[in-house]
Amino acid sequence: MVGPKLKKTEDKQYTITSRAKRLFQAVYFKQKKAEEGEKDEIAHIKVSALISKVAFVYEKIRNAVDYDEEHMLRKNAIERILKRQIVIEGVLKASKSEEISLHLLTELIRAGYLGNDMVPEAKIKEIADLLEKYIKLKNYALEKVSTFSDINDDNKVLKNKIKKRNSLVNWLISIAATEIEENLGKDVVQQTVIENMYEDLESNIKASGDLDEKLKKDLKIQIYLSIYRKYVKYSDSMLSLILFRYYNREWTQELVEDEKIMEIAYKIQPLKEAIDRQLKHPLIKQIDKITRKYAVFYSIMTELVSSEPVKLFYELKNNSSAYYKQIKNTYTKRYKKAKSKLWRSAWRSIVYIFFTKSIFVILIEVPAIKWFGEELNYVSLFINIIFPALLLFFMVLTTRKPSSKNLDKVVEGVQEISYEEYKRHKPFKIKRPAKRKPLPNFIFNFIYFVTFLFSVYVIIEVLTFINFNWVSIIIFLFFLAFVSFFSVRIKKNIKELIVAERKDNLADFLFDFFYMPIVASGRWLSGKASEVNIFIFIMDFIIEAPFKVFVEIAEDWTKYVKEKKEEIM
């Protein structure tokens, strides 16, 4: 059932927005092109299907011990391969962009990130040209960040120089990986939506009179970044590419002169600092809150249009009640899809946590208990193994379904971007970010900290009651905080569909009051744990390199056997 504002209006004609028309056209031509297929015989990159299965299984195992979001996996794989090809192997041999490009695309195909016999061989040169710019930029930039110490440099200064150098290389490789991911995933429909959203938000978001001129100047780029953050789901490291091109407009050209690359390299440090400032901009929260809603409206409409563009355009043009029904059905499908994705992410996380916790108990908890002379309690060990996974399962199981009011808001939002008559007339006002005074800020932080200590105290008392020793208690608390943050993060797909303001109640307030400090501590621990993820380190730096060599040899061997077979036949 739709809300009171969404009555049938078949008698009245509305005007379709130009942006909605562009979206219909983009979807229609994309589908038509896909139906027609390739008209010419084009050579594609092909690998052994048998060897690919082995590489695919390895990638699945590797991703099971990683806990990054699903849409980031291919970009992360690209970054991983580039680091191995440029940083590790590049030390032993010259980094040739075309060789790296071929290795990269081949590995992505084997791992299942790209279709076998689907990527044109011309893509090798395309990616190589892109990589060549970054390799030159890296080499020029490193000339400015030398690791060679002066006579007066001590070990600390030298370590700082090496750290600075490594950080710069990793940053450039991350940007290069993002641009390659963007190139491999070019989507005319997505680009149309981004342009439409920017036009909508740029006209609907205005700076209030009390906003500083400096902040006003950044408003447009922050809107653009917000669209990539909330609609395309870019991380901060990926948003660095947007800002990198924003400050260096010539970078998007196919051919960038060496002089220009050198110029960028020599100002790389202040450039990186400027990018970091934009990524921590004080207006982000206000703009993201607005953009998140429009991201829902546009994602629902895009999915709706993609089903049957011609039929839907007729329904939209004639303003039939079927259009409203289609929005509702698409929203329901999107919710089911988000819930399915939630459970996929949950199972991946449960496997990771259970695996990590089991290893942790065997290698650390049991030896630590014996070392400190504590009594080995098998009940506490069992609870410590299963509780984190069960907690995550329970948190996902109790995820709330969006309300019917939320559906009404989504339908209204899709109307707004579909019809001229429903366009928003009152713009969103971006105000100067409020700064809390030092004393209230100190008091609130103190209360927050005391709440955290109280929650921890209660948990410790319960664990002590069931005969946990202090070693097991510390490990329990660590994984409680860790999993609490996990549960909040993986539920984002469901929460992103919520555009209606949710009314607070006492139960929610108390839950947030005592549980959110634990989630916050889990967020901090998660950031630290990701830096020292021992399983990822083992797989990326000890197993992966020799495994990829084995795959290469196996691939060459299968080709050799096939050639011999053809000679005989």
For residue 70, give both structure tokens.
């699903």
For residues 51 and 545, give the distance between their C-alpha atoms in angstroms, rounded to a whole number. 16
Residues 355-410 pLDDT 10s = 777 777 777 777 877 787 777 777 888 888 888 888 888 888 888 888 888 988 99
* Closest by Cα among 192, 163, 170 to 86: 170
Which two three-digit tokens encode residue 83? 């680091």
The answer to whether 104 touches 85, Cβ cutoff 8 Å, is yes
Mean pLDDT confidence for 333-338: 87
What is residue 559's predicted lDDT score, i.e. its pLDDT?
59
The helix (H) or strand (E) run that includes residue 429 is: strand 428-430
Structure tokens at 141: 């930039």
Q: Which pLDDT does position 176 carry in this prediction? A: 95
Per residue in 58-85, pLDDT tens? 666 666 556 566 778 889 889 988 988 8
Q: Give the SS3 label for residue 430.
A: strand
Higher pLDDT: 339 or 181? It is: 181
Return the top range by mean pLDDT from 16-30, 464-478, 497-511: 16-30
Amino acid 116: pLDDT = 84
Amino acid (one-letter) located at 449: F
Lowest-confidence range among 29-43, 275-289, 386-400? 29-43
Tokens of 26: 């983009």
Q: Of 12-21, 68-77, 84-93, 223-232, which range is least confident? A: 84-93
Question: Could you read off the pLDDT of 435-485 as tens digits, one per residue?
Answer: 777 787 778 778 878 888 888 888 888 888 888 888 888 888 888 887 877
What are the residue ranges spanned by the domains of the chain? 1-34+187-260+272-319, 45-186, 320-425+436-531
Q: Which of 38-47, 77-86, 116-125 has the lowest mean pLDDT?
A: 38-47
**C-alpha to C-alpha distance for 483 and 36, rounded to whole angstroms:** 48
Q: Is the pLDDT of residue 531 over 70?
A: no
Q: Residue 154 CA to chain centroid, in angstroms?
A: 40
Q: Which of 41-55, 56-70, 239-253, 469-483 has the lowest mean pLDDT?
A: 56-70
Q: What is the pTM of this model?
A: 0.80
Per-residue pLDDT averaged across 422-430, rounded? 87
CA dihedral 344, 349, 355, 356 (to 10 degrees): 170
Query: 270 Cβ partners below 8 Å, 6+ apart?
Result: none
Max mean pLDDT among 157-171, 418-432, 509-523 falls in 418-432
Cβ-based neighbours of 258, under 8 Å, separated by 6 or more: 136
Cα three-residue angle 70-75-79, rounded to 5 degrees: 135
Secondary-structure breakdown of the chain: helix, strand, coil percentages, each rounded to the nearest 5 = 75, 0, 20
pLDDT score at 557: 59
280-297 mean pLDDT: 93
Main-chain phi, psi angles of 377, to 5 degrees: -105, 110
Q: What is the DSSP string of 184-219?
A: HT--HHHHHHHHHHHHHHHHHEEE-TTS-HHHHHTH
| pLDDT tier at 190, thresholds 50, 70, 90 | very high
Residue 23: which residues within 8 A CB-CB, separation 6 or more?
189, 192, 193, 196, 301, 302, 305
Highest average pLDDT, of 137-146, 228-237, 503-512, comes from 228-237
